[in-house]
Structure 1
């Protein structure tokens, strides 16, 4: 009987963690270029039941479920028009490379601006990188061509770094919508995505789907909670009945 309580408890724990993932996605539904996380669950190892004393096999018994981990869905979000010169959205694959105090990081958030030195920076002041180093835009007119070249007053000054990797699962999320590339990403190379000037990428969180997932996780939690409550009532009756004729 206690095995059943443990199985139900594992279901409650998994449902709570899955609900936390969905809640975080919904909290970032309006975050520029946010990529949603998906929970991955798996069952614990099944047990083979045998009947004693003839040792006859009765079949297998599930022992619960656990959250095996999460993965990030890197599919593109929709493009939202802003008409701001330094709002850049990547149409297709790729990430902007930015210089942070901790080293090079990667982001899809193209909500940029100019600092006092005429360098293109993120909202946190991180330098946006081109092929020749930090992007600089000293001039009146700033534009981009189809090859992601930065054009200032009619002259090409650099090419924006838009890169991708062999295995995106090797990227590690950090704060401020940044990703760190671990050795597991494999090779870094130029991406095929093109920058759309005057646009920002929306998050790829679908509110309706996320709300449905939250309801499912909540109902799963409540169902397992009722199972434990039933087991608890049964055990209480069994204990109170011990010694009664």
Structure 2
């Protein structure tokens, strides 16, 4: 009976984590470039239940007791949420008419799980990657994200625009006073190697394949649309449906836990009466 408590409780905890993931997706449904997270459930190892006994075998000496085993079946020990995996897919475009907004469109990519990102520099000066092209220009004339992270060129340097008015070609070249500055666009052959951080930034995970300059990779095509931003790839209707299903599953585990509690209370009460 105690194992039943643990099984139901593990289901409730897994549902709670899944609900938090879905809530985060829904709250970022209108965040430009946001990639929804998908939770993966995994079962704990099952236990094999066997009945152990003995059987008597007649012998010339009067009999022999031999041990016997009979397989009854397996016992589930609960589930847990193993990890959350970002869903890398192209979001729809929204026209803003703001020249600092840039949308990165995937073209033909040589790898099934390949994906493209803008290069930015976080507050620690480290190279990071993002799909959020809702950019702006800071007081010093540098192109930055809304969080103030520098947008980098293909050489890893911050891009100086000198103001809000500049042109960006389809191939990602920023034209500032006659100077052409290529935007830093990186490509990863396996997007699942990246680890999601805060503010829409991604970093290479442990043992990840290094990202490469998208312009130098063979068979990599992309397009930049100025005055557009990429929408989040969250489907609000689907997220709401999954949240309702997760909540119902949480309630079912809660009822099972309550039934075990009532059975335990009844058992303790009756044992006390017999004593």
Common fold by TM > 0.5: yes
Q: Deviations for 1:162-215, whole angstroms, at most 9, x for unmatched residues?
A: 112233223222222112223433121233332111101111111111111111
Tell me the CA shift for residue 98 of structure 1. Answer: 1.0
* C-alpha RMSD of the superposition: 1.9
TM-score, normalised via structure 2 length = 0.83
Equivalent residue number for residue 35 of structure 1: 35
Asked if 1:204 corresponds to 2:250, the answer is no
Question: In structure 1, how many angstroms separate the alpha carbons of the residues matched to 2:134 and 2:73?
Answer: 58
Determine if contact 1:166/1:185 at 8 Å carries over to the other structure: no
Question: In structure 2, how many angstroms separate the alpha carbons of the residues matched to 1:193 and 1:184?
Answer: 26
Match of 1:137 among 161, 182, 206: 161
Match of 1:100 among 119, 122, 147: 122
Please, which runs of 5 or more residues in structure 1 have no aligned partner?
none
Equivalent residue number for residue 176 of structure 2: 152
Range that drifts further, 50-59 or 165-174: 165-174
The size of the alignment, in residue pairs, is: 244
Could you say if the C-alpha distance between residues 164 and 240 of structure 1 is closer, same or farther in structure 2, counting changes exceeding 3 Å? Answer: same
Equivalent residue number for residue 203 of structure 2: 180
Equivalent residue number for residue 73 of structure 1: 87
Question: In structure 2, how many angstroms separate the alpha carbons of the residues matched to 1:7 and 1:140?
Answer: 58
Question: In structure 2, how many angstroms separate the alpha carbons of the residues matched to 1:178 and 1:66?
Answer: 27
Equivalent residue number for residue 72 of structure 2: 58
TM-score, normalised via structure 1 length = 0.92
Equivalent residue number for residue 18 of structure 1: 18
Question: In structure 1, how many angstroms separate the alpha carbons of the residues matched to 2:24 and 2:251?
Answer: 21
Q: Deviations for 1:63-92, whole angstroms, at most 9, x for unmatched residues?
A: 111111111111121100001111001112
Equivalent residue number for residue 88 of structure 1: 102
Equivalent residue number for residue 228 of structure 1: 257
Secondary structure at 1:95 match in 2: strand
Q: Deviations for 1:17-49, whole angstroms, at most 9, x for unmatched residues?
A: 111110111111111111111110110001111
Secondary structure at 2:99 match in 1: coil
Question: In structure 2, how many angstroms separate the alpha carbons of the residues matched to 1:44 and 1:24?
Answer: 26
Question: In structure 2, how many angstroms separate the alpha carbons of the residues matched to 1:224 and 1:100?
Answer: 42
Could you say if the C-alpha distance between residues 201 and 235 of structure 1 is closer, same or farther in structure 2, counting changes exceeding 3 Å? Answer: same
Give 1 or 2 for the bigger CA radius of gyration: 2
